[in-house]
Amino acid sequence: MTAEQPLVLGIETSCDETGVGIVRGETLLVDAVASSVDDHARFGGVVPEVASRAHLEEMVPTIERACREAGVTLGDLDAISVTAGPGLAGSLMVGVASAKALALSLGVPLYGVNHLASHVAVDIVEHGPLPEPTMALLVSGGHSSLLLVPDVTSDIRSLGSTIDDAAGEAFDKVARVLGLPFPGGPYIDRAAREGQVVIDFPRGLTTGRDMERHRFDFSFSGLKTAVSRWVQAREAAGEPVPVNDVAASFQEAVVDVLTRKAVLACREQGAQHLQIGGGVAANSRLRAMAQSRCDDAGIELRVPRPGLCTDNGAMVAALGAQMVLKGRDASRLDLPADSSMPVTQISA
């Protein structure tokens, strides 16, 4: 193994993306992704059995493509890293079993890592070493979390998370109400650019006793319901629904809460750097408002390029490489897939 520049292959299968990334040290060589999102679109959401089957079909071709594009062979690898959780149980099992087979056959260490921690680590291959500590805001279809990260390989502390719907889930559900396709995030973002923020939708857990009890937690279920009722009232009155304005107003409410709490957490925890990750981090309004509020607060904002915000193998390889570089213990070959793996458990 090259101690200073370990060559690590990462496998991500927590949901509907079969991702394989290869990282040398802190340099990304390739990020190969096979998505089954089109297979789920007609159902309006991810179907676990369909996702698992797609991972089985795409795993070997995606590994082969990644090695080919990176110009390496499996025999060159120093370690294998895989998402062990959280995620869809069946999907995780495909990735974990594949990673075990590779590690065993190649005689290299295996690192079963946390999906959320990987979303933090991926920024290393984009913007260099993570400042310690870093505040991380992770927003996706399954998660909305505020994390204080003194060390991405050994110390992640949860400050708050969603108590109901995640931000990305709310985007998908509101998109369905507005007649927009799945996944809803990109379509709402696009519609919002043509609309105006003219509807004052609620901001959950931001005032009074709610803010005292849930200072860094999120809630988007009430917002989703408010949008649905607003649309239903317009339709019942026989009035047209201004899709672009509803999209812009809904998006503004989500982004306002996310960025407001993230900046507050940075101030109270003494963190000078905020990183945003997860699929919703690709949202253009979230990026713009976060940049503006961080500039005002004197906080440095780090956001990976959109392709590294959504689920991918590069993030898993990036965390695996950090585990190797910092001498963390490898996982046992009997490591399980853990669909409810807590973010504070960085490796299995």
Binding site members: 115, 119, 138-142, 172, 185, 189, 283, 311
Residue list, annotated binding site for Fe cation: 115, 119, 311
Task: Report the 3 state secondary structure along the chain.
Answer: CCCCCCEEEEEECCCCEEEEEEEECCEEEEEEEEECHHHHHCCCCCCHHHHHHHHHHHHHHHHHHHHHHHCCCHHHCCEEEEEEECCCHHHHHHHHHHHHHHHHHHCCCEEEEEHHHHHHHCCHHHHCCCCCCEEEEEECCCCEEEEEEEECCCEEEEEEEECCCCHHHHHHHHHHHCCCCCCHHHHHHHHHCCCCCCCCCCCCCCCHHHHHHCCCCECCHHHHHHHHHHHHHHHHCCCCCCHHHHHHHHHHHHHHHHHHHHHHHHHHHCCCEEEEECHHHHCHHHHHHHHHHHHHHCCEEECCCHHHHCCCHHHHHHHHHHHHHCCCCCCCCCCCCCCCCCCCCCEC
Residue list, annotated binding site for substrate: 138-142, 172, 185, 189, 283
Dihedral sign, Cα of residue 83, residue 84, residue 85, residue 87 = positive
